């Protein structure tokens, strides 16, 4: 068996039906870290991000940053010191790393304040249907940026940036962050409407406020940014905890009928999920609220208990915050396989992601694909071990692993890079609470 900290890990074996036990701490946020990394490009001083998750998505962003001249240094295990160059060099940008992530698109909001014209490759990321940059183009061009789409690159330029009153084309977290970053160093007031105040967007707002940017309406769908001339500070900021990881542990506890304490859960981004889970019969106990290291994000500890689950009366679907997070929605699928009755899950945001949910049928689930967005799940069904290849998408891959924890016998999960993109040392951490996962040679 390989050491779990060695890379790369390709295939894992799971011996299922083990009860989870004890306590597990929610890690810092993948999406918060990538948004804050792109925000750090605004700063001419030194940015130190604390609590950065050591995941493949972050590794790809670091590779892109280094290829354009950014200096990065790990301090200890999880703190990252970032120093931007006086002049960025895009000639040798790491195209391979760019092809694997979508989050670098947010740099279209920060880099125009540091260089007049630049090219970035077309984005990668999860394969879940068509993903355009329309939301980015709509809001950034309203601020005076020019985005030209070439065969292999986007060419971005903007010499006459100006504040504006913007309605977002769609409730896109990444496009909202890019708009925040561009507006933050344009003198004057920019208003962003229909802005999703999701956890990663709020994290960027907290960072910008530390940098001296005044933002009215943080946590609301309308924000006004009071832009400043530049950011040139030595600054530290903590990445907040990941509600999607908290939800993953909730799902794992529910399907294995375990008693498990999940610490440091960002409660404001889990309230509706918890309500739905409680209505499905999941017994939980929630601690008093306390603050994250950033002194802004509210946290709780959630204890989940063995429960008899029932299907909800209504469909389960995601919505922009404060609705069920689109990344939390897939974790209802394993739970629904163990709930009495029929559950409809409507994944309206992503073309084709619901198709990946039917992979759980290989484990004995009874999931019917109604169309590219909706599935019907009949439960409860006993799950059994199987051999499955991870789909090229993070959350669908993770729900297969969660289901395998509850499946009778042994399962093998191949090509787990998708999981390592977003979850740090997750196999080792699951083992620490009673799972039986080994790395295959």
Query: At residue 2, what are phi and psi to the nearest 5 degrees?
Result: -75, 155
Mean pLDDT of 108-136: 78
The band of 128, judged by pLDDT with boundaries at 50, 70 and 90, is: very low
Beta strand 235-238 with 46-50 is parallel
Determine the pLDDT at residue 121.
Answer: 86
Determine the pLDDT at residue 159.
Answer: 81
Determine the pLDDT at residue 99.
Answer: 82
- What is the Cα–Cα distance from 23 to 234, expressed in whole angstroms? 36
- What is the Cα–Cα distance from 30 to 184, expressed in whole angstroms? 23
Percent of the chain scoring above 90 in pLDDT: 88
The band of 7, judged by pLDDT with boundaries at 50, 70 and 90, is: low
CATH topology of domain 30-238: UDP-n-acetylglucosamine1-carboxyvinyl-transferase; Chain (3.65.10)
Mean pLDDT of 72-87: 96
Query: At residue 347, what are phi and psi to the nearest 5 degrees?
Result: -100, 75
With tokens 């289901």, the residue in question is: 403
Give the residue with greater pLDDT, 127 vs 68: 68
3-class secondary-structure state, position 103: helix
Closest CA to 332 of 352, 306, 357: 357
Q: What burial letters (b/e) apply to 197-211, b meaning 16+ CB within 10 Å?
A: bbbbbbbbbbbbeeb
Domain boundaries, the chain: 12-27+241-439, 30-238
Determine the pLDDT at residue 130.
Answer: 45
What's the token pair of residue 401?
């692993």
Mean pLDDT of 112-141: 79
What's the token pair of residue 188?
């004057």
Is a pLDDT exceeding 80 seen at residue 441? Answer: no
Mean pLDDT of 228-240: 97
- What is the Cα–Cα distance from 150 to 153, expressed in whole angstroms? 5
First to last CA, the chain: 7
Is a pLDDT exceeding 50 seen at residue 48? Answer: yes
Determine the pLDDT at residue 129.
Answer: 44
- What is the Cα–Cα distance from 4 to 54, expressed in whole angstroms? 13
Determine the pLDDT at residue 98.
Answer: 86
DSSP-derived letter for residue 225 is E
Residue 205: its H or E element: helix 199-210
Mean pLDDT of 277-298: 98
Determine the pLDDT at residue 273.
Answer: 98
Is a pLDDT exceeding 70 seen at residue 3? Answer: no
Is a pLDDT exceeding 90 seen at residue 165? Answer: yes
C-alpha dihedral sign at 160, 164, 167, 173: positive
Is a pLDDT exceeding 90 seen at residue 88? Answer: yes
Tens digits of residue pLDDT in 351-389:
889 999 999 999 999 999 999 999 999 999 999 999 999
Q: Do the domains spanning 12-27+241-439 and 30-238 agree at the CATH topology level?
A: yes
Contacts for 163 with CB less than 8 Å, ≥ 6 apart: 143, 183, 186, 187, 188, 189, 190, 227
Mean pLDDT of 395-418: 97
Cβ atoms of residues 280 and 241 within 8 Å: no
What is the DSSP annotation of 256-306? TT--EEEEEEEGGGTHHHHHHHHHTT-EEEE---EE-TTSSSEEEEEEEE-
Is a pLDDT exceeding 90 seen at residue 403? Answer: yes
Mean pLDDT of 196-225: 97
Percent of the chain scoring above 70 in pLDDT: 96
Determine the pLDDT at residue 158.
Answer: 86
- What is the Cα–Cα distance from 384 to 402, expressed in whole angstroms? 13
The band of 124, judged by pLDDT with boundaries at 50, 70 and 90, is: low
Distance of CA 75 to the CA centre of its chain: 23
- What is the Cα–Cα distance from 3 to 427, expressed in whole angstroms? 11
Determine the pLDDT at residue 153.
Answer: 86
Beta strand 316-317 with 339-346 is parallel
Closest CA to 369 of 381, 379, 354: 354
Beta strand 79-83 with 46-50 is antiparallel
Least confident piece of the model among 109-123, 168-182, 233-247, 330-344: 109-123
Return mean pLDDT, the chain: 94
Residue 215: its H or E element: strand 214-216
Determine the pLDDT at residue 53.
Answer: 97
Please tell me the CATH code under which domain 12-27+241-439 is placed.
3.65.10.10
Determine the pLDDT at residue 126.
Answer: 47
CB atoms within 10 A of CB 408: 14
DSSP-derived letter for residue 239 is P
- What is the Cα–Cα distance from 300 to 359, expressed in whole angstroms? 33
Q: What burial letters (b/e) apply to 339-363, b meaning 16+ CB within 10 Å?
A: beeebbbbbebbebbbbbbbbbebb
The band of 1, judged by pLDDT with boundaries at 50, 70 and 90, is: very low
Is a pLDDT exceeding 70 seen at residue 6? Answer: no
- What is the Cα–Cα distance from 343 to 329, expressed in whole angstroms? 13
Least confident piece of the model among 114-118, 119-123, 322-326: 119-123
């Amino acid at each position: 068996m390989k050491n779990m900290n060695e890379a790369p890990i390709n295939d894992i074996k799971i011996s299922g039906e083990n009860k989870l036990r004890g306590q597990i701490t929610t890690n810092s946020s993948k999406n918060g870290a990538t948004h804050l990394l792109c925000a750090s490009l605004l700063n001419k001083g030194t940015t130190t991000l604390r609590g950065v998750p050591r995941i493949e998505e972050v590794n790809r962003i670091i590779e892109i940053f280094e290829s354009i001249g950014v200096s990065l240094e790990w301090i200890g295990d999880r703190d990252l010191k970032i120093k931007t160059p006086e002049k960025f060099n895009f000639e040798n940008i790491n195209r391979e790393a760019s092809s694997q992530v979508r989050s670098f698109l947010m740099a279209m909001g920060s880099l125009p304040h540091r260089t007049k014209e630049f090219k970035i490759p077309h984005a990668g990321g999860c394969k879940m249907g068509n993903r355009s940059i329309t939301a980015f183009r709509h809001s950034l061009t309203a601020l005076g940026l020019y985005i030209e789409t070439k065969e292999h690159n986007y060419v971005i330029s903007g010499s006459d940036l100006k504040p504006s009153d913007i309605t977002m084309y769609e409730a896109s977290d990444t496009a909202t962050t890019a708009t925040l970053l561009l507006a933050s160093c344009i003198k004057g007031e920019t208003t962003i409407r229909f802005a999703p105040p999701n956890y990663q967007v709020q994290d960027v707002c907290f960072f910008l406020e530390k940098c001296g940017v005044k933002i009215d309406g943080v946590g609301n769908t309308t924000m006004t940014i009071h832009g400043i001339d530049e950011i040139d500070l030595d600054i530290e900021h903590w990445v907040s905890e990941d509600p999607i990881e908290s939800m993953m542990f909730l799902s794992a506890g529910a399907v294995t009928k375990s008693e498990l304490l999940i610490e440091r859960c960002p409660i404001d981004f889990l309230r509706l999920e918890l309500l739905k889970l409680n209505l499905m019969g999941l017994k939980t106990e929630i601690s008093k609220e306390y603050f994250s290291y950033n002194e802004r994000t509210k946290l709780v500890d959630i204890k989940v208990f063995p429960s008899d689950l029932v299907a909800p009366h209504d469909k389960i679907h995601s919505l922009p915050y404060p609705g069920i997070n689109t990344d939390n929605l897939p974790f209802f699928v394993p739970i629904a396989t163990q709930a009495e009755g029929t559950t409809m899950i409507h994944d309206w945001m992503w073309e084709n992601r619901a198709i990946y949910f039917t992979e759980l049928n290989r484990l004995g689930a009874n999931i019917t694909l109604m169309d590219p967005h909706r599935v019907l799940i009949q439960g409860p069904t006993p799950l059994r071990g199987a051999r499955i290849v991870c789909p090229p998408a993070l959350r669908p891959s993770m729900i297969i692993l969660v289901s395998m924890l509850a499946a009778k016998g042994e399962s093998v999960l191949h090509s787990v890079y998708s999981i390592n993109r977003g979850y740090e040392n997750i196999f080792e951490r699951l083992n620490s609470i009673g799972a039986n996962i080994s790395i295959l040679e």
